[in-house]
Structure formats: structure tokens, C-alpha cells
């Protein structure tokens, strides 16, 4: 058991991104596509931290959340290929609902309900 735990612990300490995922600070955006810093390959994977969600080929895709500085939920919604898609809800710092949006968006413009 000790032989197995030591390498896992060492890898986790040396490469925290393997255990915890990337943060938005680990990514750069060029021409609307997100890349892991110092690479030319569009990022596919999950982010952790203040803004949590998934990327597919450099575009936000799937459920996303963002948190206020105090840890309360600030925004939740879904992206489809980098565009807002479906319902979105924003919250005040005390957790109360601020605004709700729904629909399908293309280039930031609502195109359907």
C-alpha cells in the first residue's frame, strides 16, 4: 500500500493540474479559442476554481458556473460550442436570484427560446 501511495502523492504535489484540473488562469484565449498556456492545441478538458466548466476544442461547452469572491454562486448556465445555450441564472452575493435568461444564442445574440 505504501508503495502505491508514495508515487500518487508525489505526482499530485508535482503536477496539481493532473489532480485538480486547470484554472482559467492556466489558459489563454486567441481569436475566440482557448489554449493551455504555451501550446498551440485548442484546450479540451475541465476548469476548476472560480470559473468551472468544460472546453471542447477550445470552446466552452456544457454546464458552467462562476462564484463570487465570498464563495456564493454568481452565475450558472450552459454553453454550446462557445455560445450561450439554454437557461442562465445570475445571483447576488447573498445567494438570491438576480436575473434569469433563457434561449439559444448565436454570436451573443438571442436566436430562439
Domains, the chain, with CATH or none: 20-112 (2.20.110)
Global pTM exceeds 0.85: no
Q: What φ, ψ does residue 33 adopt, rounded to 5°?
A: -110, 135
pLDDT greater than 70 at residue 21: yes
Distance CA 82, CA 108 (A): 10
* Other CB atoms within 10 Å distance of the CB of residue 25: 11
Over residues 74-99, mean pLDDT = 93
- Tell me, what's the pLDDT at 101? 84
Contact (CB, 8 A) for 79 and 69:
no
Residue 95: alpha-carbon gap to chain centroid: 20
Residue 104 or 63, more confident: 63
- Tell me, what's the pLDDT at 17? 44
Confidence band (pLDDT; 50, 70, 90) for 5?
Answer: low
Amino acid at each position: 500500500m505504501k508503495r502505491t501511495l508514495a508515487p500518487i502523492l508525489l505526482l499530485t504535489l508535482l503536477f496539481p493540474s493532473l489532480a485538480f484540473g486547470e484554472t482559467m488562469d492556466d489558459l489563454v484565449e486567441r481569436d475566440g479559442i482557448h489554449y493551455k498556456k504555451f501550446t498551440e492545441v485548442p484546450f479540451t478538458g475541465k476548469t476548476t476554481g472560480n470559473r468551472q466548466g468544460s472546453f471542447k476544442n477550445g470552446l466552452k461547452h456544457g454546464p458552467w458556473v462562476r462564484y463570487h469572491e465570498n464563495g456564493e454562486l454568481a452565475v450558472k448556465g450552459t454553453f454550446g460550442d462557445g455560445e450561450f445555450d439554454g437557461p442562465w441564472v445570475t445571483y447576488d452575493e447573498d445567494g438570491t436570484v438576480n436575473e434569469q435568461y433563457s434561449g439559444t444564442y448565436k454570436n451573443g445574440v438571442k436566436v430562439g427560446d
